[in-house]
Amino acid sequence: KCTQCQIIFMIPNEQMVILQIISQRQLIKKSELFRTAKEKLNAPIEDNLISLKNSGYIDILTPLGETSFAITQRGMRVLSGRIEAV
């Protein structure tokens, strides 16, 4: 198997904006994320969060019962422009 072979995973701009917001805090409460994202996006936030979660770019956490979001290592690689290995 070629260790140099790689593939680029493209994600929509709205999802990149959400990833950037989450990455600035590493862990962000749902209410804070929605408030910040609402100022920057005109797209449905919930649908984009589901896609990001399903792609492995974010994790959903519930510390002390409050839903929060954290960016994963895979999400950080996408933001940094590094190409993910096949």
Number of H helices, E strands in the chain: 4, 5
Per-residue tokens: 81: 């422009």
Quick one: angle between helices 30-40 and 13-25, nearest 10?
Answer: 130
Provide mean pLDDT across the span 55-80: 92
**In terms of DSSP bridges, do strands 27-29 and 68-71 run parallel, antiparallel, or are they unpaired?**
antiparallel
What is the per-residue pLDDT across 3-58, written as a single tens digit (0 to 9) for each?
Answer: 444 444 578 889 999 999 999 988 999 999 999 998 888 878 999 999 999 999 99
